[in-house]
Amino acid sequence: MPRSAAPLARTCGIALTCGIARTCGIALTCGIALACWLAASSAYAQSGAAPHGWLFGTWTGGLFPVTGDLTVQACLAQPTVIFTRDVVMRATLTEPVYGQRVVETARSGPSGTDFKFTPAIDPVAATSRGLLGMEPPKPAAGFGCENSDVLHVQRRSENEIAFPGCADFPATLVRCTGR
């Protein structure tokens, strides 16, 4: 039995007795330990929410101050930023589609969340002329921060956030709530 299974077996209240004379006992004990380990790991996986889960959903503002008379319909009709588990999308004033950044890591603390995105510039595309000699695609849009692959989200309240140091988002953002 691997060393890592022994603490799990103790946690489940199983005494590991893997002696040669107890072949049936080994199989039973190892099977119970494996079942207990699988139950513990699946329970951990289900309870382990994403560290940035508090951000999931649509947010508006950032590009402009949010007025107090913003309706839910207006907020949901054109959100500025959308947070999901794997992607953060942002609107720009000059593009009709949302820029998407793939989340590489997310680390949350009491004051907010720090994101690290996959690199915005593909190293192969940056050193070549692209397919058939055409210009390579533009790099993924950042948030106007000091590093286009990093985003610091500051929690102002449950429904208000800011991107400190990001020129593209000088104002705070508010969560689009309700339906």
Model confidence pLDDT, tens digit, residues 48-66: 688 999 999 999 999 998 8
**More reliable by pLDDT, 56 or 136:** 56
Residue 7, CB half-sphere, CA atoms under 13 Å: how many? 3
- pTM: predicted TM-score of the whole model, two decimal places: 0.65
Residues 141-150: what's their mean pLDDT?
89
91 touches 98 (CB < 8 A)? yes
pLDDT at 24: 39
Listing DSSP states for 27-86 in one string gives HHHHHHHHHHHHHHHHHHHHH---TTGGG-EEEEESSSPPPTT--HHHHHHS-SEEE-SS
